[in-house]
Amino acid sequence: MDVEEQTERLKADREHGASELALWAVEIMKNFVCSGDFRDATALIAEMKSIAQQIKTSRPSMAAPLGNTVDEFLGRAEEIALSGGGIAEAIQKCSIAADSLIEKLKKLPLMVARNFGSVLGEKTTVMTHSYSSTCLKTFSMHAKMIDKIFVCESRPGFEGRQTAEKLKDAGLKVVLITDAEAGFFIKEVDMVVVGADCVLENGDVINKMGTYLLALAAKDCGKKFYVLCDRYKFLKAEENFGFEEKVPQEIWQAPPGIIVRNIYFDSTPAPLITKIITEKSD
């Protein structure tokens, strides 16, 4: 599979969270480096920059995790290129650098999960939304402290169903609800816990559509609202963020004359968020 095809798959993906796609992005870069035929290290870096730009612009709502991980790898590759040696040595070192970054990224959800333990009480009832590998790791780690977890189905892709299955397999008591039922059942929970696709400079959180309404319901009912994510998801000023809109047919094959909108992500204002818990302990 060539880089363009891999990037298109990343762009079309509906099954994985931002952390998993960031890992995928580094793997795409590594595969490109290892399979390419480059004249010299300068040519290698030039082509890597072109691929990096394709990846970074493939998912505007995930501009932070994709941009930050790819930029970190690209920066390391440039250091390698400037250090001298032949192209074969540069490719080998870049591959090692990619593996190192991948291992670093894989450890982050566990670090976030450990830091979340401080806000849990005994037999906590939680509500969550959509799919987040970081949330899954966190809930699984603290399963003995969670009495029950409500999972919103997260239309139109129904990622919540995947979350519900994985949590059930981890031994948690799971209740799957429609997104519209969240306001009804939120009175039964102690807290809302979600992941994030991106954190803006002002502290607002970008996540799957419906997160903002869930935060409003939590605020109205006096429930704590936590966001779990690593700091690779914090947007830099120069990164190009945008709200992604998918094909309307995912929602409804509407008759002529009806406009269907299918925005995938929304923004939850910082004042509605109790705390963003990252891999860095406070």
- Residues designated catalytic: 197
Query: Tokens 């690779």 belong to which residue?
Result: 232
Contact by Cβ (8 Å): 28, 3: yes
Residue 282: name the closest of 105, 115, 137 by CA. 115
Alpha carbon of 143 to those of 122, 136, 161, 204, 221: distances in Å? Answer: 11, 10, 18, 28, 25
Sheet with strand 198-199: strands edge to edge: 198-199, 205-208, 265-268
- Alpha-carbon gap, residue 129 to 192, rounded angstroms: 9
At residue 71's C-alpha, the angle toward residues 209 and 15, to 5°, is 35
Phi-psi region of 257 (alpha: psi -120 to 50; beta: other; left: phi over 0): left
Q: How far apart are CA 7 and CA 55, in angstroms?
A: 6
How far apart (Å, rounded) are the C-alpha atoms in residues 228 and 216?
18
Strands (E), 139-262: 146-152, 174-177, 191-194, 198-199, 205-208, 224-228
- Report the alpha-carbon distance of residue 14 to residue 125 in Å, rounded: 27
Strands 205-208 and 265-268: antiparallel
Residue that has been written with the tokens 């954190």 in this structure:
199
